[in-house]
Chain A
């Protein structure tokens, strides 16, 4: 008489990114997943870029010239921001997984977010003024 109405798999995975009606913990979780996906994507890009080395010095220099454009610099800033957030949230999750500061998890999130934003700003200023 009953039927599995919940579809597991891809369509359900979109719920990972749905913040509607959810609390701070979910925001941290969503950001963690997005930054994880972003960083993984960047890792592949990075390998492709390094692959340019195999084509010789000229090709690589030419490529380096293109990625000096502001769009690419902004992309790099995103990588820095994602790395900061993901690393700091990793510390938060690590701590709480040892049973440390579990009731303070929201406060920890706000702090790490503040540090990540501040860190990204500093990096951004340095990257765009260098």
Chain B
């Protein structure tokens, strides 16, 4: 935000990588408004300091999920992260690309495998409102004209949960929090074929309960809860089978 208030001077230490060359950090000293977002500062680096900087961004208000990065080592959706929340006047903000994804260039990571998995579990971006509320038994809301209200789902596929997950760090075959959460929301009852995708070594049993996915999720998806709920469903299915 542009104001006449006190400006801060901060250093942005930005991860850089081009092609096959070795990665390094670039430092930019900038005047910022503490009430600006981190993404604003990054965009200004590109606009006024270094046109070669690459980063992903689109909506600038947390609906698209493109601008997830590491800010001082923690996954943040940079479009809604205030500068005042991550640094003090005169301090340094370190910006890195998300972890556990291949790096394409600078802050841009390759999300194709992640999107492939999201499609595989049938994660729906548009869903009935009642289905979006975690742990709720709320009845479907009618739109009054015989139709049910729909909404875009909470999961914006930013990949931050994958980046924060200690298991995804050492096992690239682990499906990962957002994918398992997507499967949970798709529902084993509605899509029984999901069972063999999630009920396997690198599926929901690989999670080791660090709960970082839920800690960094910018969008109330609560992937950890959804993974545990999926476990509960699968366990109870197996249990029932024992007595049949």
- A–B direct touch, CB within 8 Å, in complex? yes
Chain A positions near chain B (C-beta within 8 angstroms):
1-6, 8-9, 12-13, 15-16, 20-26, 28-29, 32, 92-93, 96-99, 102-103, 105-106
Instruction: Say whether chain A's binding surface is mostly helix, strand, loop, or mixed.
Output: helix
Interface centre among A12, A24, A106 (most CB of B within 10 A): A12
Bound form: Cα–Cα A12–B231 in Å: 27
Are A99 and B166 in touch, CB under 8 angstroms? no
Contacting residues of chain B (208-224) with chain A, CB-CB under 8 angstroms: 208-212, 214-215, 224
Q: Which of A4, A12, A102 contacts B224 (CB 8 A)?
A: A102
Size class of B's contact patch? 35 or more
CB of B91 within 8 A of chain A?
A: no
Are B231 and A22 in touch, CB under 8 angstroms? no
Q: Which B residues touch A13, using CB under 8 A?
A: 169-170
Closest residue of chain B to A16 (Cβ to Cβ) is: B166
Are A8 and B171 in touch, CB under 8 angstroms? yes
Q: Which A residues touch B233, using CB under 8 A?
A: 99
Within the complex, what minimum Cβ distance (angstroms) separates A4 from chain B? Answer: 5
CB of B172 within 8 A of chain A?
A: yes
Closest residue of chain A to B213 (Cβ to Cβ) is: A25
Are A6 and B210 in touch, CB under 8 angstroms? no
Are A6 and B209 in touch, CB under 8 angstroms? no
Q: Which of A93, A98, A99 contacts B209 (CB 8 A)?
A: A93
Known: A98-B235, A99-B232. A1 touches B209 (CB 8 A): no
Can you identify 19 A-B contacts, CB atoms within 8 angstroms?
A4-B102, A5-B17, A6-B100, A6-B169, A8-B171, A15-B166, A15-B169, A16-B169, A22-B164, A25-B215, A26-B212, A29-B166, A93-B209, A96-B228, A97-B231, A98-B232, A99-B229, A102-B228, A105-B224
Q: Which A residues touch B170, using CB under 8 A?
A: 8-9, 12-13, 15-16
Are A21 and B73 in touch, CB under 8 angstroms? yes
Are B215 and A22 in touch, CB under 8 angstroms? yes
Are A2 and B102 in touch, CB under 8 angstroms? yes
Are B20 and A3 in touch, CB under 8 angstroms? yes
Q: Which of A6, A29, A106 contacts B101 (CB 8 A)?
A: A6
Known: A5-B17, A29-B209. A98 touches B73 (CB 8 A): no
CB of B72 within 8 A of chain A?
A: yes
Bound form: Cα–Cα A105–B232 in Å: 16
Are A23 and B103 in touch, CB under 8 angstroms? no
Bound form: Cα–Cα A67–B19 in Å: 58
Are A12 and B212 in touch, CB under 8 angstroms? no
Are A5 and B72 in touch, CB under 8 angstroms? no
Interface string of B38-57 (1 = CB under 8 A from A): 00000000000000000000
Bound form: Cα–Cα A9–B214 in Å: 24
Contacting residues of chain B (121-166) with chain A, CB-CB under 8 angstroms: 164, 166
Closest residue of chain B to A26 (Cβ to Cβ) is: B210
Are B169 and A12 in touch, CB under 8 angstroms? yes
Q: Which A residues touch B164, using CB under 8 A?
A: 22
Are B209 and A23 in touch, CB under 8 angstroms? no
